[in-house]
Amino acid sequence: MSVLPFDQRDGFIWMNGALVEWKDAKLHVLSHGLHYGSCVFEGERAYGGRIFKSREHSERLKKSAELLDFEIPYTVEELDAAKDLVVAKNGLTNCYVRPVAWRGSEMMAISAQHATINVAIAVWDWPSMFDIATKMKGIRLDIAEYRRPDPACAPCASKAAGLYMICTISKHRAERRGYADAMMLDWQGRVAECTGANILFVKDGEIHTPIADCFLNGITRQTVIGLAKANGIKVNERRIMPEELEGFDECFICGTGAEVTPVSEIGPYRFTPGAISRTLIEAYTREVEPTEDAVSADISL
């Protein structure tokens, strides 16, 4: 399948406080963020022209930067406004939103205290897939070789670009083997997450999901847990060992890109997408869809 390269698209990107033509949004090859991983980002989604939980994502972006010892030179409110501007300027309704911040090219060494902090926001069309019949077939996951690192060895609460290196390696391996993604274990061999989404299991009508202490406590994860509780479903956040997987009835992943997606297979383990997966797909769909009042407010602006 031919995909238009991301540096050759049309539209506008917000970069360091101004809208620029898409193809002009560039950085130098000696940018610190490229060489030393001093880069953080967010993955967000707009539905009906409104970015879901925009403020929470902006707050996390700033916190991620702080954990990497730099400060994003914009307030949460300024970031939210910039994201809305880029979505509107590009004329998109259902789209992916990618804010990213990185150290620039003023210093090229491990130390980079005086490097400029650059911020950019790009958006691109990404329709939501809420076809329940298709989703309920479930996806197949491999089990990754690489593990999430000990939180004493990496800033695991930061959505830092460098932490995704092993995710790319693991997803490539999974796709070569015919899987959609891979489930990763933590540094102690316990179930952690997938390469870009959190994972949850169902047993006897209750949800079981790993404690998010060596990987991101995803905003979608928090949303889904809240929706489960609102629907009377008990949620157990606990340590889960791989051998427990054979005892679970259902499994699903969640994230900005995945939304809520059931899983039918993880390596040798099999699951049957069922009532709880369906309930949460439907609940999440209702949660992210803009209300008529919200759309009317946007029009009045």
Mean predicted lDDT score pLDDT of the chain: 94
Asked which of 69-73, 130-134, 201-205 is least confident by mean pLDDT, the reply is 130-134
Task: Report the DSSP pairing between strands 181-185 and 139-143.
Answer: parallel
Q: Tell me what the mean pLDDT of segment 253-273 comes to.
A: 97
Q: Are 81 and 20 in contact (CB under 8 A)?
A: no
Has 159 been annotated as catalytic?
yes
Task: Spell out the alpha helix ranges (H) of 68-115.
Answer: 76-89
For the entire predicted model, the pTM comes to 0.93
**pLDDT confidence bin for 291, thresholds 50/70/90:** low
Amino acid at 195: T
Q: Are 168 and 184 in contact (CB under 8 A)?
A: no
Catalytic residue among 159, 203, 229, 234: 159
The terminus-to-terminus CA distance of the chain in angstroms comes to 40
What per-residue confidence (pLDDT) applies to 298?
A: 46
Q: Tell me what the mean pLDDT of segment 150-156 comes to.
A: 96
**pLDDT confidence bin for 290, thresholds 50/70/90:** confident
Domains (ranges, CATH) in the chain?
9-125 (3.30.470.10), 132-287 (3.20.10.10)
Q: Are 253 and 263 in contact (CB under 8 A)?
A: yes
